[in-house]
Structure 1
Amino acid sequence: MSRALRAAALLTTVLISSAVLTGCADNTATTTASSKDLSDVEIPKTVDPDTRITIGSPEIQVALKLSGQIDKIPFKVKWANLSGGPQCSEAFRANSLDVCSAAEIPSIHAHWTGLDTKLVAAAFRTDPVKNPIYELGIAPGAGVDSLADLRGKKIAYSPGQAQGALVLRILAKAGLAKSDVELVELPSTGDVYPTALGGGQVDAAPLGGVNIKRYPAKYGKDGGKTIPHGLRDDPGHLWVPTASVSDPQKAAAIREFVKYWAKARVWIDTHPEEWIEGYYVKDQGLSREDGEYLVKTGGHPAIPDDWTRAIADQQKTVDLLAKETDQKPFDTEILFDRRYEKVGAEAVAGTGADTGSDTGAEAGAGS
């Protein structure tokens, strides 16, 4: 079978799977979440060591092992090999997960599908425009050299995920509407986007991680490339079901985990060699060259002690998504459990991590 036929077959499979998943997701709820207010509920000052929570944060789990901190956690943890919006929201609905690592979009999408959740930690990059998480991959022969050239093009789109929201923000920056392009719904997992680009099924797609390096290396001779989008794309959170932080002992355990999460992020930044070998090479199976690339382009962690501007930027994202996807806008303040606002920053104070109140926000970040 030729490369083109293999790519077409893969894309057909992906499109069928995506349609099935989208159909299932659409049937999970028909109303927005009630968004329980917990701001006046005090979290116990200590955590019962017999408290058990299930955490989906594989990267942090490895960091805690490598740093020797995992056995010091003062409660019982069941680790789940889950992260990101689709996997974690499904586990939240099944009452089988208490904490998840995710970007900003899953909590927004959850609210619109009736799943009541909260954000209990926030982290960003100190120079997110210079070191973005994503670049825009361009297919060979697509004729796209700038964002303005996207008019009339086919763009890979994953609703409910960070990549999907980034596509809408890129269009807004370029002065384009959804009707000016063709959005092709594809899951953003694995090599789906690079394969779709290389096979010509889409003209543009947001690429992250090692795909930013691998895609032009593989398809550059044919004209494949990446271009910068110039937007902030770095919000990272610990995301929880509201039911978990409504339970006093789980709420206390989650507060303690936020501290370990923050320290782990700083440890990763300050121990690049151990992280490359222990995580990227041994755990993820990447080459050392790929690991070095990811460390070099990953920026440095910034854990703010004030979420005001981060909330304001997320509000811009909500307003844009509501407009472009026919959803009802809402006040993003309800997604943030500000009882945890200073926990991460205070845990890493004095370590050199950026904890300034302006961290994680900038003019236009959500536009």
Structure 2
Amino acid sequence: MPLVPSRRAVLGRRATFLLPALLASPAIAADLPRRVPPGTRLVAADQNQALQTMMQASGEHGRLAATVNYANFLGGPAILEAFRAGALDLGIVGNTPPIQAHAAGERIPIIAARTSTEPDYKFAVRPGLTVATLKDFAGKRIAYAEGTGRQPFVLRALQLAGLTRRDVRLVPLRVSDFPDAVRGGQVDLAPLNEPHFSRYLAQWADRGASALPADQHADLPRRLSYLYASGRALDDSAKAAALRDFVIRWIAASRWSKARPEEWVQAYYVRLQNLRPEDGRAIEASEGEYRFPALSTLIAPHQSTIDLIHAAGDIPRRLDAREEFDLRFDAVIAEHAA
């Protein structure tokens, strides 16, 4: 299984060339444009085809004012590279990719967020091993992916256990390799999201697959999804208006998935992911309730995540979380998420 080299050296070189535009993010007092001219197009980064499926199954995709195409990725680093290549206008990611983009000197501001009452990931344990508490992580091999939401999730777990990265072995892997690594015993623990977590436990139960107990996840970070957008797209009045419209439709589609859970389960977990309906329902229920907070309320917790990653030595300098949000979208969120 190929390993992913650390991005610290690359980020360190880029961090000294932070774009002036990053420090002068869009004026928060200005209104977003609203008119989406005919022919406006957006390319959105998706993960596990969840965004596209939700938008289409809810009917919100058909209500979009712009033509939106979806490109599927697995993990924030691949999405960041596509942004850097100019191939994307927006993407859905966890809490870490905006930090990595900032550290690399890329202007990709956060334009909306969705939180959940449930943990961001769950720790799968390799077959034949039992891990009862976070303190049992000491001496274990843990799958690790810089630039993804799994990075601060693992670091926070170590912090809660009173451990440091020196007390464990962090194994750098691509996110797509996490399930195979824990199944094959190449790592002892891997933070997995759905449907990979439930699929692992179901398919490998006869070989002793297990997980960190649910109560040990209680203080770990809650699920957080960010929509972030290219600075170039935000500087284009047509695309900025289309992004405003996309945020509105994304909030509506997310709410639809909770209001019509059976339809969502059938569309995504059963037809696309090939899970049994009962497994899909269990996963959907485990995702908790959604909230769409004002971006201004997320600055402090986001700063805490930045500081955690910086303290671990994974970014070369402390960043200012305020520079990673386009607060013009708070008015849109307040109007449509109330």
* Shorter-chain TM-score above 0.5: yes
Identity %: 34
State how far apart, in whole Å, the 2-side matches of 1:95 and 1:295 are: 34
SS in 2 for 1:81: strand
Measure how far apart 1:267 and its partner are: 0.6
Among 39, 61, 71, which residue is 1:80 paired with?
71
Among 253, 256, 272, which residue is 2:245 paired with?
256
Which amino acid in the other structure matches residue 302 of structure 2? Q
Among 10, 18, 41, which residue is 1:52 paired with?
41
Mapping for residues 60-209 of structure 1, pairs under 5 Å: 60-82=51-73, 84-125=75-116, 127-128=117-118, 132-142=119-129, 144-189=131-176, 192-209=177-194
Name the structure 2 match of 1:319.
307
Name the structure 2 match of 1:43.
32
Measure how far apart 1:203 and its partner are: 1.8
Measure how far apart 1:187 and its partner are: 1.5
Measure how far apart 1:72 and its partner are: 2.2
State how far apart, in whole Å, the 2-side matches of 1:343 and 1:264 are: 15
Alignment of 1:328 onto 2:328: no
Which amino acid in the other structure matches residue 274 of structure 1? E
State how far apart, in whole Å, the 1-side matches of 2:64 and 2:181 are: 43
State how far apart, in whole Å, the 2-side matches of 1:319 and 1:202 are: 27
Name the structure 2 match of 1:363.
none
Q: In the superposition, relative to structure 1, how do residues 54 and 212 fare at CA in structure 2: closer, same or farther (>3 Å)? A: closer
- Listed as ranges, the gaps of 5+ residues in structure 1 are 1-12, 350-367
SS in 2 for 1:286: coil
Does the 8 Å CA contact 1:123/1:237 hold for their aligned counterparts?
yes
State how far apart, in whole Å, the 1-side matches of 2:319 and 2:289 are: 31
Alignment of 1:215 onto 2:203: no
Alignment of 1:225 onto 2:216: no
Bigger relative contact order, structure 1 or 2 (CA pairs below 8 A, ≥6 apart): 2
Structure 1 window deviating more from structure 2 (207-216 vs 230-239): it is 207-216
State how far apart, in whole Å, the 2-side matches of 1:68 and 1:247 are: 27
SS in 1 for 2:13: coil
Name the structure 2 match of 1:286.
275
State how far apart, in whole Å, the 2-side matches of 1:242 and 1:54 are: 14
Q: In the superposition, relative to structure 1, how do residues 320 and 50 fare at CA in structure 2: closer, same or farther (>3 Å)? A: same
Measure how far apart 1:67 and its partner are: 2.7
Which amino acid in the other structure matches residue 195 of structure 1? D
Q: In the superposition, relative to structure 1, how do residues 242 and 173 fare at CA in structure 2: closer, same or farther (>3 Å)? A: same
For residues 280-335 of structure 1, what are the alpha-carbon distances to aligned partners after superposition, in whole Å with 9 as ceiling and x for unaligned? 2223333323322221211121112x333321111101001001025211110110
State how far apart, in whole Å, the 2-side matches of 1:252 and 1:75 are: 9
State how far apart, in whole Å, the 2-side matches of 1:140 and 1:61 are: 33
Name the structure 2 match of 1:7.
none
Query: How well do the aligned residues superpose, as a CA RMSD in angstroms?
Result: 2.3
State how far apart, in whole Å, the 1-side matches of 2:130 and 2:283 are: 28
For residues 70-116 of structure 1, what are the alpha-carbon distances to aligned partners after superposition, in whole Å with 9 as ceiling and x for unaligned? 22222232333346412321211111110111111001011112222
Measure how far apart 1:139 and its partner are: 2.5
State how far apart, in whole Å, the 1-side matches of 2:34 and 2:182 are: 52
Name the structure 2 match of 1:272.
261
Give the structure-2-normalised TM-score.
Answer: 0.88
Name the structure 2 match of 1:356.
none
SS in 2 for 1:318: helix
State how far apart, in whole Å, the 2-side matches of 1:170 and 1:45 are: 42
SS in 1 for 2:111: strand
Does the 8 Å CA contact 1:84/1:101 hold for their aligned counterparts?
no
Does the 8 Å CA contact 1:133/1:209 hold for their aligned counterparts?
no
SS in 2 for 1:235: strand
State how far apart, in whole Å, the 2-side matches of 1:276 and 1:218 are: 19
In the alignment of these two chains, the number of paired residues is: 325
- Listed as ranges, the gaps of 5+ residues in structure 2 are none
Give the structure-1-normalised TM-score.
Answer: 0.81
Q: In the superposition, relative to structure 1, how do residues 14 and 339 fare at CA in structure 2: closer, same or farther (>3 Å)? A: same
Structure 1 window deviating more from structure 2 (332-341 vs 46-55): it is 46-55
Does the 8 Å CA contact 1:133/1:298 hold for their aligned counterparts?
no
